[in-house]
Amino acid sequence: MRFNNVIPISQGFTLVAMCRQKVVPASVISKLETHIAEFVNYYNNQRYQVPMNNVTPANVYFGGAQEILARRKIITQRTLLTRKLDFKVQKTTLI
């Protein structure tokens, strides 16, 4: 949609003020709120953050990050051990 009379938010007008002035239709506001809520949910609960050791912000905030990192460490150790054993078996069968 294109609005000819839209006042840029950078000029100090808030979204609420623009709605009161009926510059932005209510349907656009509800869609915008829905998309913002979806993004916030994705960002906090699904997107892994590298600076947070690849856990979500929700895991860090609610205290589940250490448990996740401990489980990952165990999985990594098991995987490396399995690879070493597989390599030894493969090496002995080739001889």
pLDDT, tens digit only, all 95 positions of the chain: 444 444 444 545 566 666 666 666 777 778 888 888 888 889 989 999 888 889 999 999 899 999 999 999 999 999 999 999 999 888 888 76
Q: Is residue 80 in some structural domain?
A: no
Does 58 map to a domain? no
Q: How far apart are CA 38 and CA 43, in angstroms?
A: 9
Residue 22 lies in a domain: yes
Does residue 18 lie in a domain region? yes
Residue of 46, 53, 51 whose CA lies nearest to 76: 53
Residue 19 lies in a domain: yes
Structural domain boundaries, residue 17:
8-47
User: In the chain, how many domains are there?
Assistant: 1
Residue 72 is assigned to a structural domain of this protein: no
pTM value? 0.56
